[in-house]
Amino acid sequence: MLAGIEHFVAVAEARSFRQGARRLGLSAAAVSKAVARLEEALGVRLLERSTRSVALTREGELFLGRCRQALDALQAGADEVAAAGEAPVGTVRLSASPVLARPLVQALPRLRARHPRVEVELSLTDRLARLVEEEVDVALRLGPLSDSAQVARRLRSPRWVTVASPALLARQGPPRRPAELVGLPCLGFVSPAGGVVGWSFAGQAALDLSFPLRLDLGEHLVTAAVAGLGYAQVFDFMVTEDLAAGRLVEVLADYAAPGPTLHALWRPGRQQLPRVRVVLDWLVEVLG
């Protein structure tokens, strides 16, 4: 039945017997027979076939999720056995929001110095990566988790910090209360869903702020703030070095609101692989 499962997953993911067979390096006829034998063994129809397409039945949808987990666990076990007793080696696919780019990239030399045979493939996107389908080893996510089939570790709960350049503060003086930001130049972040994200302050109602400059990348928001173009509200880990170097100054610290929790997320069993384990340890060190 195991071979039939692999055939079924390939066809279900490709929504095509021909494409699924090509992925497995087999003929479409052989794959079709293997899936038919699997359906016969289970006593249910997994796929609805037509001359042009293949669709999953309700039972097929449920079974596909279980099959992916099972095949992933088997692959993880094979990788773990192969890597037993060896130094961490191989590629780790890491998915993260672009707002995490700076701390991750700046800390990569530390990881490379310790584990030169571990390579990192870093995908920076605000889209939630599908760990199994996209073969992602570890994903970093800000906010609530919905992937109950995955394993997660809480890394930190960042703060929303409001910052400005020393030059801007010298011209205008620092605001003492959030309401004093009304009418001042503020830098707006345009979310992937569209629209400017409102600012958050502890114990304060929403403010009607002016955003003469709006950007869709958090790193550019920090750059614009350093250039003195306006006040910015970002996660604390995005400006650690700029604050330490004096390029930015935090204002309204007493009103800083908590941000969404940052988690590392991975598929069951992946943390047993030496290359994934050392990357997880590195992430805890950098972002924990």
Average pLDDT of the chain to the nearest whole number: 87
Compute the average pLDDT of residues 79-93.
Answer: 73
Over residues 21-53, the pLDDT tens digits come to 888 888 888 999 999 999 988 889 999 988 777
Residue 200 is predicted with a pLDDT of: 92
The band of 19, judged by pLDDT with boundaries at 50, 70 and 90, is: confident
Q: What is the pLDDT of residues 105-137, one digit of tens each?
A: 999 999 999 999 999 999 888 776 666 666 788
pLDDT of 193 reads 79
Give the span between the Cα atoms of 36 and 10, in whole angstroms: 14
pTM over 0.75: no
CA distances from 70 to 57, 63, 75, 87, 184 (A): 20, 10, 9, 26, 56
CATH number of 87-157+261-287: 3.40.190.10
Count of alpha carbons within 13 Å of 141, Cβ hemisphere only? 19
User: Can you give the residue ranges of every domain in the chain?
Assistant: 2-82, 87-157+261-287, 160-255
More confident residue, 150 or 236: 236
- For residue 219, the model assigns a pLDDT of 87
Distance from C-alpha of 35 to C-alpha of 56, rounded to nearest angstrom: 12
pLDDT at residue 132 in the model: 64
CATH number assigned to the domain covering 160-255 = 3.40.190.10
Q: Are 87-157+261-287 and 160-255 the same fold in CATH? A: yes
> Of 13-27, 84-98, 108-122, which one has max mean pLDDT?
108-122
Range name among 56-70, 83-97, 161-175, 241-255 with the lowest pLDDT average: 83-97
Q: Please report the pLDDT score of residue 229 as a whole number.
A: 95
Q: For the domain 2-82, what is the CATH code? A: 1.10.10.10
